[in-house]
Chain A
Amino acid sequence: GAGVSQSPSNKVTEKGKDVELRCDPISGHTALYWYRQSLGQGLEFLIYFQGNSAPDKSGLPSDRFSAERTGGSVSTLTIQRTQQEDSAVYLCASSAGGSGNTIYFGEGSWLTVV
């Protein structure tokens, strides 16, 4: 596609439910990032995929969070047993990989846990 596509754009879920957020990166991009942005806060790194390498999961805040990337393209971020503090915008980004290449962001998935 022309840009990074994320879905859903908005999600309201009940506390304790599981949610899945999807990211479709720019075609051909080997690197994919997930970030979280809480209200009034900066972007918090969650996880990074680069080609077939083991992902950098160092930013995942708890074991309720997981992500996978199938076929080196689409990625899904899963949050199990959601809590109110999980409410945030989840941003996905992709790049051609490596050092210094431009990193493009999607519009984000707004998650509200009630």
Chain B
Amino acid sequence: EDQVTQSPEALRLQEGESSSLNCSYTVSGLRGLFWYRQDPGKGPEFLFTLYSAGEEKEKERLKATLTKKESFLHITAPKPEDSATYLCAVQVYSGGSNYKLTFGKGTLLTVNP
């Protein structure tokens, strides 16, 4: 069974205090690993897709990396507006023309001014 585990469940940072969020996964045949940001009362907002071990992608203060077992979302010098829940999801082939997307429970990030 595909499993996605995110840690920590919650993280409090001071503005400017860099840190990393972890997403570990156990799947057969990873087709893509997705990172999303979700604000309260909103749908998930797409951030990155990573496809293979060693790949890295950056967007503003965020950088996502991927190994064969886990992904990290590094946040450099965060600002209060980076406060949100960050979700990780893995896509695997599930038969026919189907590709299933399985999510972790997310990390709630709070950045204090």
Report A's interface with B, CB cutoff 8 A.
4, 31, 33, 35, 41-43, 45, 48, 50-51, 53-54, 56, 58, 91, 93, 97-100, 102-108
Contact = CB atoms under 8 A, between A and B. Distances in A.
Interface of B: 31-32, 34, 36, 42-46, 49, 51, 87, 89, 91, 93-106
A103 B98 CA distance: 14
Contacts of B103: 35, 42-43, 45
Given A100-B49, A103-B34, A42 B105 contact: yes
Given A42-B106, A48-B98, A51-B97, A103 B46 contact: yes
Contacts, number: 70
Interface SS of A by simple majority: loop
Given A42-B105, A103-B34, A56 B100 contact: yes
A100 B32 contact: yes
A56 B98 contact: yes
B97 A100 contact: no
A33 B101 CA distance: 9
B49 A107 contact: no
A102 B89 CA distance: 12
Contacts of B100: 45, 48, 56
B51 A108 contact: no
B23 to A, nearest CB: 12
